[in-house]
Structure 1
Amino acid sequence: MVTIENKIVVVTGAGRGIGHATALHLAKRGAYVVLGARSEAEIAALAADIETTGGQAIWRATDVTRRADLDALVDLACTRFGRLDVIVNNAGIGPISRFDALQVNDWDAMIDVNLKGALYGIAAALPVFGRQDRGHVVNVISTAGIKIVPTMGVYAATKNALRTATEALRQESGRNLRVTEVSPGFVDTTFADSTIKVPEIRAAIRKRKEELAISPDAIARAIAFAIEQPDDIEIGSIVVRPTAQD
C-alpha cells in the first residue's frame, strides 16, 4: 500500500495559510517536511509544533524570488535526508488591483513570486529528480486563472502562466517524474490582510471570505491525495473550491 510515510517533501510558503496546513498534514501522515518561507519565526515555530507531535521537520529562510534560496532549500533536503521526493511550489502573493491603478511594482512582485518563484523551485528540484530517476512537482495555482474577474488580471495571468508551464513540464517529464497542479478556490487565509493594499478591494475579499471560504486543510488533503498515489499514477490537475463559489 502506497503511503506518504517517509517521503521527503519541500514546501515553499510554509509559514502560513495553505503551505502551513500542507506541511502539518503531510508531517502527520509521516512525511519528512522541509519548510521554506521568508519568515524565520513562522517556519521555526511550525517545525517546533511538528516535532512536539512526533513529526520531523527542518527549515530554512527562503525568498523564492532568489534562485539561490531554492537551490539551498533543496540542497538542505538532500543533505539531511539523502533525497527529495516532492517539491510543493506553494509560495504566492496577491496584491490585486485594477489595471488603471497602475500598481506596476505589485505586478512585478506577483510575476517574481507566483511565476518565477515556482520556476526556480522546479529548476532546483529537476536535477535531483533526474539523478534519482523519480520525483514529483506539485504547483499550487488558483481558480482565479479559471474564472477571470476584474482586479485579478495580473494575479490570474501569473497563475495561468504557471498552469501553462506545468502542463508543458508534464508532457516533457517521461515515466518517472510526476507533475500536479492544484487550483484552490476561496480559502480562509490571510491573503487579503497581508497583500491587498486597496481598502475597497481588501474589504470585498474579506467579506467574500467570511461568506464562503473553506479551510486550507482542504487543499492540504488534495495535495496529499496526489502525493500518495502509486509511482505510476499521476494526478494531473485538482480544483478545490467551496460549493458556493461561482
Structure 2
Amino acid sequence: MFERLENTVALVTGASSGIGRAAALRLAQSGAVVAIVARRADRLEALAAEIRRNGGIVLPIAADITSSDEAIAVVTRITSELGRLDTLINAAGLMLNGPSIESPLSEWDRMIDINLRGLIYVTKAALPHLIDAVASSPRNVADVVNISSVAGRFAAPQVAIYNATKFAVTAATEAWRQEFTRRSVRFSVIEPGATATELFDQKAGQREGFASMFGEVEQMHPQDIAEAVAFIVTNPRRVAINEIVLRPTDQA
C-alpha cells in the first residue's frame, strides 16, 4: 500500500532538468509541497508554472548549492516559508569525462563540487529538520534519496573522477542509512544506467562517445527514475528501500 504525501514538504535539487525535474513533478503529483532548487531560474519558473497548473504547491529557489552558505540558506528558507522538511532528493549532478591527462583540473573540481560537496552541504543542513519532521509527520518518517549512477558501482577508463564522486555518494548514503535508521530517517540511493538527459551534453564529445557505447540501447527516460523515487518515498514507514539499480533493458 503506497501512501500519499499530503502535508509533507519535499526539496529537490537539480530540478531544472532531467531526473530532478521529473522527480519534482512526480512528488507534486503524490501530494507533496515541493521546493525546487537549481541555478537556472528561468527553467525553475517554467517548472513551477507547470506544477501549479496541475494543482500543486511549489517554491522555486535559484541557488548554487556548491556554496555551503547558499545550501544552508536554501534549507532555512524552505523551513521558514513552508514550515517543515520531510523529503530530500539530491539530484543535482555533472559529468565531464575524458582522458585524464587532457582533462583540466577545473572540470574535476566542478564534478566534485556539484556531485559530492553540494549533496553533502544540503544533506547536512537538512538533517536536523528531517529529524524534527518525523515527530509531526502524518507518516512518521522522513526520506533522503540520493541519485548516484551505475558509475557508482563499476569503474571505467576516462571516468575516474565521475566514478569517484558517485562511489562516494553510494558509500555516504549507506553510512547515513545506518546512522539515522533508528531515528526514522530513511536514506536511499538510486543508481541509473543510460538515461536520456542533458548529462552527456555537458562536455563536447561526450554525446558522441555515448552514442558509440549505447547507440543501440533504448535509453530510460527521467520519468522512469522519478517513478523509483516515488516508490521509495511513498512506502509506509515499516519499509525502507535502501538501494535501487536501474538499467535499460538493452544495456549489458
Q: Please indicate, yes or no, whether the TM-score normalized by the shorter chain is above 0.5.
A: yes
SS in 2 for 1:211: coil
Quick one: distance in 2 between partners of 1:41 and 1:206? Answer: 29
Q: Does the 8 A contact of 2:66 with 2:118 survive in 1? A: yes
Quick one: distance in 1 between partners of 2:120 and 2:176? Answer: 11
State the 1:215 CA deviation: 0.6
Quick one: distance in 2 between partners of 1:174 and 1:184? Answer: 24
The structure 1 segments of at least 4 consecutive aligned residues displaced by more than 3 Å after TM superposition are: 206-211
Deviations, residues 135-160 of structure 1 (Å, cap 9, x unaligned):
21111000012222222111011000
Partner of 2:155: 148
Quick one: distance in 1 between partners of 2:238 and 2:60? Answer: 30
Instruction: Tell me the number of residue pairs that the alignment of Structure 1 and Structure 2 aligns.
Output: 243
Partner of 2:85: 84
Partner of 1:203: 208
Verify: 1:191 aligned to 2:196, yes or no: no
Deviations, residues 152-199 of structure 1 (Å, cap 9, x unaligned):
111011000111111111111132111000111110011111x123x2
Partner of 1:244: 250
Q: Which residue of 139, 143, 154 corresponds with 2:146?
A: 139
Partner of 1:94: 95
SS in 1 for 2:61: strand
1:210 to 1:9, Cα distance in 2 relative to 1, 3 A: farther
Partner of 2:172: 165
Using the size of structure 1 for normalisation, the TM-score is 0.93
Q: Does the 8 A contact of 2:8 with 2:84 survive in 1? A: no
Unaligned runs of 5+ in 2: 135-140
Unaligned runs of 5+ in 1: none
Q: Which residue of 236, 240, 248 corresponds with 1:234?
A: 240
Deviations, residues 49-99 of structure 1 (Å, cap 9, x unaligned):
110111111111121201122222222221222111101011010011121
Q: What RMSD in Å do the two structures reach over aligned CA positions?
A: 1.5
Q: Does the 8 A contact of 1:192 with 1:206 survive in 2? A: no
SS in 2 for 1:5: coil
Deviations, residues 76-127 of structure 1 (Å, cap 9, x unaligned):
2212221111010110100111212142111111111101111011111111
